[in-house]
Amino acid sequence: MEQIRAVVEIIQRSTDAYMFILDLTSDIYMLPEKAVKRFPFHSTMIENCTETLKKIIYPSDYEMVLADIEKCRLGEQDTHTLEYRWLDRMNRVVWISCRGTVVTGAEGRKLLIGTVSELGKKAKADNITGLRRETRFRLNTESLLRDRPASIRYMMRMGIDNFKEINEKEGIEAGDEVLRELAECILKTVDESVDVYRLMADEFMIVDAGTSERQNPRTVYKQIQGTIASMAKSKEYSRFYTVSAGVLEGDFSGRTVEEIMRYTEFSLNEAKRGGRNQMTIFEQASYEVYLKRLDIRKALRQDINNDFRGFEVYYQPIVSTSDYKLVGAEALLRWQNDKYGKMSPAVFVPILEESGLIIPVGRYVLWEAARTCKRWKQYIPAFHIHVNLSYVQLYRSDLMMDVERCIQEIGIEPESLVLELTESGYIETNEQIKSLFKDLKAKNIDLALDDFGTGYSNMRYLKEIDVKTVKIDRSFVVQALQNDYDFNIISHIIDMVHSLGSAVCMEGIEEKEELSKMMATKPDMIQGYYFGKPSPPEQFEENFLKDVNFP
Ligand code: C2E
Ligand code: MG
Ligand code: MG
């Protein structure tokens, strides 16, 4: 025995694992000094192993471990290979892998000799939360999918909504604490037979393939929310966080781990996109929509990198109501692709925005429109070109620099340019944008407030940002044509806009009767199919610039 111990001590120096000898006959357990430091063993030599392990092994794993050792003792098996949980000196859960072999010595004495290694050290378990990690989730899920896919009821991927913020504002330790707390909340809520893993960063995976009573994932999610809330309360609201979750249910046979990872990630992101603090159940149809959007984005990017292949700028006439003469045009982006054909800007502009691609495309439109405007000023010296801007361009690019460069390179007067912005909540709140508006004003570049009447319709903006023109959206006009109430509202709004010193451009007039009726509200300009649809520059020039008078 002493000889074996000496050998073990030597080998111990060259490994991270804890080597152990368990005398199955006398129940004596020997382990190295460093195991005693980390786990609450009282010495390196333990007389009644079975009793002592009761304090070390995580309670619900104890019976299983003991049963396995018993089989070794009875000679029913000669190896012991198990993954289970120990509790360290801080009473934190540590996943370990225990592997041993039964050796029969002199006098028939049976020894189990082997190693205990911490899974956390191999990134299979996490010493912050005491949960197993993604590697282990993948391995276990692979065997679940292979052996008993029908037993899987749901998988729930859960993420902390403001984890980055907690880490940044309160430090990594606070982040770790939240992770530990959430792990605790989840474990408290789910049944013993449900597996919980920690994936990367702030994400957890809950796998119900258990034998206990079936629980509805939504109920489980709500309960976890409840536990988090009461935990926050018990800690006197010193820290607050919420969680979102994505759930995959249904038939798991034929699924792969990769699919599960992708689908649950998608649903979790959906929950976050939907405003966080909520749970989303995976739906194939919305996933397909998402994939299509990704594919459209890819096609857009390829075309942009191919010198804006398939992109074009169309122009729609803007007519003055005093004499029905052309005063300008709005530049409207068009895109045509081999795979997707012609697509409405209402569909592809938002995709350009969310990917940031609107920045290069916005530049392309600005340069095209400025060039065209310069040409058309030969016909109408006071011609104005309207260019739509996205809030992404305001926030994420140096718009002022682009506009100045464009004006300079093309050589047009800044007064010819009108930048159209959709009204929304961001305008008045952001200081940086307010100062951008001042700079534009100082450079004599006019602003138009687009889609008026569809969103916030806050008159205050008009004062704040000093717009030259307010564009009333077609949907608003359609309503006014249908009922007197809306008609009166539009009339009043137009009066108010006028009294604030801005002009009104009414969009979407399609018929002569519509024009006659809406003229009573006294708009200053009209843009609508009645005067002309958006068309390519050559056609616009042919139809509207070469000696044409409108009806
Ligand atoms: P918007 O800026 O409000 O442009 C007016 C839209 O109303 C255009 O749609 C135009 O074709 C349509 N329209 C004009 N008159 C009538 C009419 O009489 N009847 C009907 N039914 N529709 C009319 P379009 O070209 O499909 O553009 C849709 C939106 O896409 C634009 O709305 C704008 O928000 C956005 N967009 C277009 N080009 C650009 C661009 O270069 N940059 C950015 N950021 N957005 C753009
Ligand atoms: Mg517009
Ligand atoms: Mg509009």
CB of 353 closer than 6 angstroms to any ligand 1 atom: no
3-state SS, one letter per residue, for 381-422: CCCEEEEECCHHHHHHCCHHHHHHHHHHHHCCCHHHEEEEEE
C-alpha–C-alpha distance, residues 14 and 9, integer Å: 10
| Separation of CA 260 and ligand 3 centre (Å) | 42
Return the residue matching tokens 């691609």.
357
Give start-end residues of each CATH 3.30.450.20 domain in the chain.
Answer: 2-118
What superfamily in CATH does domain 306-472+502-510+523-544 come from?
EAL domain (3.20.20.450)
User: Nearest residue CA, atom 25 of ligand 1?
Assistant: 332
Mean pLDDT of the chain: 91
CB of 528 closer than 6 angstroms to any ligand 1 atom: yes
C-alpha–C-alpha distance, residues 145 and 256, integer Å: 7
363-393 residue pLDDT tens: 999 999 999 999 999 999 999 999 999 989 9
Interior angle at CA 342, CA 266 and CA 300, nearest 5: 50
- pLDDT value at position 68? 94
- pLDDT value at position 549? 55
CB of 6 closer than 6 angstroms to any ligand 1 atom: no
Give start-end residues of each CATH 3.30.70.270 domain in the chain.
Answer: 134-282
| Separation of CA 507 and ligand 3 centre (Å) | 7
C-alpha–C-alpha distance, residues 202 and 183, integer Å: 10
Overall size of the chain counted in residues: 551
C-alpha–C-alpha distance, residues 336 and 309, integer Å: 8
User: Nearest residue CA, atom 42 of ligand 1?
Assistant: 388
Cβ-based neighbours of 475, under 8 Å, separated by 6 or more: 453, 454, 508
The answer, yes or no, to whether residue 320 has pLDDT greater than 90, is yes
In CATH terms, the fold of domain 2-118 is: Beta-Lactamase (3.30.450)
494-542 residue pLDDT tens: 999 999 899 999 999 999 999 999 999 999 999 999 999 999 999 999 9
12-31 residue pLDDT tens: 777 889 999 999 999 999 99
3-state SS class at 362: helix
CB of 246 closer than 6 angstroms to any ligand 1 atom: no
321-363 residue pLDDT tens: 999 999 999 999 999 999 999 999 999 999 999 999 999 999 9
252-309 residue pLDDT tens: 999 999 999 999 999 999 999 999 999 999 999 999 999 999 999 999 999 999 999 9
User: Nearest residue CA, atom 4 of ligand 1?
Assistant: 332
172: part of which helix (H) or strand (E)? helix 172-189
- pLDDT value at position 113? 92
Q: How many CB atoms lie within 10 A of CB 377?
A: 16
Helix axes 474-482, 484-499, angle to 10 degrees: 130
| Separation of CA 441 and ligand 1 centre (Å) | 24
| Mutate-to-test residue for ligand 1 from 319, 335, 507, 509, highest number of ligand atoms within 8 A of CB | 507
Which-ligand-closest: CA of 332? 1
Give start-end residues of each CATH 3.20.20.450 domain in the chain.
Answer: 306-472+502-510+523-544
3-state SS class at 354: helix
The answer, yes or no, to whether residue 124 has pLDDT greater than 70, is no
| Long-range CB contacts (within 8 A, 24+) of 265-274 | 265/157, 266/290, 267/157, 268/157, 268/158, 268/159, 268/203, 268/244, 270/246, 271/244, 271/245, 271/246, 272/159, 272/161, 272/244
The answer, yes or no, to whether residue 90 has pLDDT greater than 90, is no
Q: What is the pLDDT confidence band of residue 420, given thresholds at 50, 70 and 90?
A: very high
Query: What tokens were used for 430?
Result: 């952001």
Which-ligand-closest: CA of 359? 1
User: Nearest residue CA, atom 19 of ligand 1?
Assistant: 508
CB of 506 closer than 6 angstroms to any ligand 1 atom: no
CB of 360 closer than 6 angstroms to any ligand 1 atom: no
33-49 residue pLDDT tens: 889 999 999 999 999 99
180-235 residue pLDDT tens: 999 999 999 998 889 999 998 899 999 999 877 888 999 999 999 999 999 888 88
323: part of which helix (H) or strand (E)? none
Which-ligand-closest: CA of 505? 3
User: Residue 267's Cα: distance from chain center in Å?
Assistant: 10
What sign does the CA torsion over 348, 353, 359, 362 have?
positive
Residue 335 DSSP class: E
426-460 residue pLDDT tens: 666 678 888 888 899 999 999 999 988 766 556 77
3-state SS class at 225: helix
What superfamily in CATH does domain 134-282 come from?
Reverse transcriptase/Diguanylate cyclase domain (3.30.70.270)
Query: What tokens were used for 298?
Result: 């890819």
pTM above 0.85, yes or no: no
| Mutate-to-test residue for ligand 1 from 311, 332, 525, highest number of ligand atoms within 8 A of CB | 332
Which-ligand-closest: CA of 312? 1
- pLDDT value at position 457? 58
Atom of ligand 1 nearest to the CA of 510: 18
Question: Rg of the chain over CA atoms, in angstroms?
Answer: 35
